[in-house]
């Protein structure tokens, strides 16, 4: 629990520092992002402690949620300053703090993927990386929507000035989606190759929704390449595909583990 509290404290101090400078694009947020990365290290140590006690990597609902938030925080802390996306930390770091505390409260529930075949482990880790990357893409899409809306209304607010230029933000969005799409593709391929009974009753919804999400991201990238899709269409498709992905993984886990009480 102490590790979780330390991680949450580092995240929240980093959030406070970033929020104080969010409207100043010239502010040096390097120390704040380093504090965020300290939170990431402590957050990772929390998972390691729980896995050691459980005898394997546990991926129950709160553990999986925490790992996705951990991945988002790690990406934000590493690339935020380079891409002028420090403002992402104001959302991502508190989310990571909450999931770390939730994980500490629930603890490790069962022996996890380390006790299973390495191929299933590979599939699970690819899925978590894909979810973390595409969740960041969804946040970027929301930022892009806010920026476009402000520009259309000619509302040149301090928040607008805090964001990267529109073209840079849009380019970063599609780069992030491309990486996430590649990871999601590998997730689906390893699922087909390595997961037995992929269309069993407790997996069919997850599989179908994941494929639909993958198709939407693929259509968006194809439309971008062939027809130059951008703006509101890109935002809607990104958020719609991410919603399907959230329902596929966390929706099914929530129902199975917290409602039906099945592992």
Q: 88-106 and 30-54 are packed helices; what angle lies between their axes, rounded to 10 degrees?
A: 20
pTM of structure: 0.86
Quick one: 108 and 166 in the same domain?
no
Quick one: 20 and 96 in the same domain?
yes
Q: Whole-angstrom Cα distance, residue 216 to residue 210?
A: 10
Quick one: 94 and 137 in the same domain?
no
- Domain range for 256 is 117-263
Q: What is the pLDDT of residue 213?
A: 95
Quick one: 65 and 101 in the same domain?
yes
Quick one: 31 and 89 in the same domain?
yes
Give residues with Cβ within 8 angstroms of 56, minimum separation 6.
Answer: 111, 112, 113, 114, 115
Q: What is the pLDDT of residue 222?
A: 95
Among the three residues 53, 80, 115, which one is the final residue of a domain in this structure? 115
Quick one: 80 and 129 in the same domain?
no
Q: What is the pLDDT of residue 200?
A: 57
Do the beta carbons of residue 163 and residue 151 sit within 8 Å?
A: no
Q: What would the two tokens of residue 5 be?
A: 């509290």
Tally of domains in the chain: 2
Q: Which residue has the tokens 């919603």?
A: 243
Binned average pLDDT, 10 residues per bin, the chain of 263 residues:
92 91 73 92 92 75 90 89 76 95 76 61 88 94 87 68 78 94 94 72 77 96 91 92 89 63 54
List, as one string, the DSSP characters of 23-52: T-TTS--HHHHHHHHHHHHHHHHHHHHHHH
Neighbours of 53 (CB within 10 A): 11
Q: 88-106 and 61-79 are packed helices; what angle lies between their axes, rounded to 10 degrees?
A: 150
Quick one: 131 and 260 in the same domain?
yes
Quick one: 245 and 144 in the same domain?
yes
Quick one: 142 and 235 in the same domain?
yes
Quick one: 43 and 109 in the same domain?
yes
Q: Whole-angstrom Cα distance, residue 15 to residue 89?
A: 6
Q: What would the two tokens of residue 87 be?
A: 């403002």
- Inter-CA distances, 204 with 180, 208, 216, 257, Å: 22, 6, 18, 16
Q: Whole-angstrom Cα distance, residue 89 to residue 22?
A: 10
DSSP classification of residue 164? P
Quick one: 109 and 163 in the same domain?
no
DSSP classification of residue 169? H
Q: Which of 53, 45, 65 is nearest to 114 (CA)?
A: 53
Among the three residues 64, 88, 115, which one is the final residue of a domain in this structure? 115
Among the three residues 62, 86, 115, which one is the final residue of a domain in this structure? 115
Q: What is the pLDDT of residue 111?
A: 47
Give residues with Cβ within 8 angstroms of 125, minimum separation 6.
Answer: none
Quick one: 3 and 109 in the same domain?
yes
Q: Which of 72, 32, 68, 31 is nearest to 47 (CA)?
A: 68
Do the beta carbons of residue 119 and residue 189 sit within 8 Å?
A: no
């Amino acid at each position: 629990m102490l590790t979780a509290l330390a991680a949450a404290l580092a995240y929240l101090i980093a959030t406070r520092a970033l929020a104080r400078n969010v409207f100043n694009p010239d502010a040096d947020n390097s120390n704040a992002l380093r504090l965020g990365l300290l939170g990431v290290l402590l957050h990772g140590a929390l998972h390691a402690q729980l896995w050691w006690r459980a005898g394997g990597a546990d991926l129950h609902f709160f553990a999986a949620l925490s790992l996705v938030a951990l991945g988002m925080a790690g990406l934000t802390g590493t690339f935020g300053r380079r891409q002028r996306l420090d403002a992402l930390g104001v959302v991502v770091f508190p989310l990571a703090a909450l999931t770390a505390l939730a994980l500490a409260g629930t603890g490790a529930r069962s022996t996890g993927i380390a006790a299973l075949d390495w191929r299933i482990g590979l599939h699970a880790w690819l899925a978590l990386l894909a979810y973390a990357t595409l969740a960041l893409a969804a946040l970027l899409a929301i930022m892009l929507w806010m920026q476009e809306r402000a520009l259309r209304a000619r509302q040149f607010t301090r928040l607008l000035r805090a964001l990267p230029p529109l073209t840079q933000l849009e380019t970063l969005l599609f780069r992030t989606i491309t990486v996430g799409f590649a990871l999601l593709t590998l997730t689906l391929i390893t699922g087909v190759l390595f997961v037995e009974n992929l269309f069993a009753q407790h997996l069919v919804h997850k599989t179908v929704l994941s494929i639909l999400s993958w198709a939407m991201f693929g259509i968006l990238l194809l439309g971008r390449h062939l027809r130059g899709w951008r703006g509101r269409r890109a935002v809607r498709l990104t958020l719609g595909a991410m919603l399907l992905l959230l329902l596929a993984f966390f929706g099914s886990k929530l129902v199975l583990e917290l409602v039906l009480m099945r592992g």
